Structure 1
Amino acid sequence: MTVAPDLAAEWIDRWDAQQEGYVPDREERFAVLVDIVEHAVREVAEPVVVDLGCGPGSLAARIAERVPRAVIIGVDADPLLIALARGRYGDLARWEVADLAADDWTAALPGPVHAAVSTTALHWMLPEQLAGLYRTLAAHTAPGGVLANGDHLAVAEGLAGPAAAVGAGRALRSGVTGREGWTDWWDALLDDPRLAGVTAGRRRSTSAVQDAAGESEHHDGSNRLSAADHARLLLAGGYSGAGVVWQHGEDTVVAGVR
């Protein structure tokens, strides 16, 4: 599955714009995640960095800018998003189509992981799937390695309203309101005749984009886990320490150290 570089860049730029509508501090979140990676691999000559649910490669590209010596593995279940990443970024990373809910995604790893990242992706996993992912990842992570996950995470009971107000206020101040939505982006992508060769067989769903076999890539909605839930699962999975390292309303980065 191949996409021309200019066409891939066009659609990834549009992806980035619509994502900012949901994550007004997206670039700051990216910077925080890369700060964590850079610190974790500071003494490793050729660190292995895994981007979990990498989508079209936006975070992986930013890691490559700051840590050019890293071997980056971008893993996503969607072959179309991986095709866009390959089209725009080429061999900046090793792009792998794999399901993070299955254990066999680790076959893509060239060795021990020194840092793993994810952004706005793991909330689609059921809690038991996420627990399995953290166990599997911990088993493949070098001592001192980290996982850093940025996402909208559930806040304490009674604080959902104030947290939502913080997010809405930040979106207004950042000028990212009224952006194209996730579903609209997918609809437009699948309607683009220039991508007919790679979108053939894909069909729309109100809850997820589905492949030709009708298999949904995500369950319907978010697992609504909190930062405390993620920390608990990381510790149970084999990480020695875990907790929040950055937060703005619901927008949270949780990290675990192996």
Structure 2
Amino acid sequence: MALSAATAARWVERWECQQQRYAVDREERFTVIADVVEYVTAGRTSPLIVDLGCGPGSLVARLAGRLPDAELLAVDADPLLLELGRTHYAHAARYVEAVIGAPGWLDRLALDRPLDAAVSTTALHYLGEPALRRVYGQLAARLRPGGVLINGDHLHQGTPRLSDIAAAVGRRRAERLRAYRHEDWDSWWAAVACDPELTALLAARRRCSLPAGEDCHPTLTEHTALLRAAGFQHVGPVWQFGNSHVLVAVR
């Protein structure tokens, strides 16, 4: 049975709310990423942009609104989240199921030209250092000269003490914005499991090999070094609040 538009809309709305618990100033971070993409693709006809770890399409939908002439690809390993995005934001992007960093994952995108931009939010932290090194190199090879990789994520500072302070700053900001009034990740998924319209998608999710988070969390400095080693010429954060960053790497 096809997922109904009403069900997809309901669960995407709940997703948007629960994600505010985890991303400090989430909407502003999306806006900054869109600002960067718009700036670096100005004057280009039908820029090609891929969203890595798109979930139910939160970022790609915002990019589609800002860049209506862009060709957008949305990539995720989770069939349930992908179907929510494919149904709710049907015209925003072409949705592709793939595990980022797995053998042949880029081939599944069927790219017919170099990328203008690769973006990601709160997804690449699942990759450890070896996988990040590999993925950064693969993306550098697929981006055009001057193309960008933009990663909005929680990136630790250079020392544990600074990371702790930055995390505390982020928590206080979230408290002021009342972000913790929203349901959390576990509650959202528990509620999903009770919706009969999502039963088949949840079963498909349980059968697939979703990436597990690794214990290694590279710092901002380490991410920067990996990106430079991959061939990016200019690397640095353009926005930060607490440990939440928008890190830009120019090919």
Shift of 1:156: 2.6
SS at match of 1:191: coil
Distance change in 2, residues 1:42/1:201 (3 Å) = closer
1:8 corresponds in structure 2 to 8
CA contact (8 A) 1:2 1:87 kept: no
1:207 corresponds in structure 2 to none
1:68 corresponds in structure 2 to 68
TM-score normalized by the length of structure 2: 0.94
1:192 corresponds in structure 2 to 195
Q: Deviations over 1:113-153 (max 9, x none)?
A: 00110000000011111111111111010110001000011
1:115 corresponds in structure 2 to 117
1:224 corresponds in structure 2 to 217
Alignment of 1:111-150 (within 5 A): 111-150=113-152
Name stretches of at least 5 consecutive residues in structure 1 with no aligned partner: 203-210
Q: Does 1:160 align with 2:163?
A: yes
Alignment of 1:18-57 (within 5 A): 18-57=18-57
Shift of 1:155: 1.3
Distance 2:244 2:66 in 1: 23
Distance 1:192 1:70 in 2: 35
Distance 2:215 2:37 in 1: 26
Q: Deviations over 1:160-180 (max 9, x none)?
A: 321122111101111212321
SS at match of 1:235: helix
Distance 1:167 1:231 in 2: 22
Distance 2:217 2:201 in 1: 33
TM-score normalized by the length of structure 1: 0.91
- The count of corresponding residues between Structure 1 and Structure 2 is 248
Distance 1:141 1:110 in 2: 12
CA contact (8 A) 2:128 2:218 kept: no
User: After the TM superposition, which segments of 4 or more aligned residues of structure 1 sit over 4 Å from their partners?
Assistant: none
Amino acid at match of 1:227: L
CA contact (8 A) 2:127 2:214 kept: no
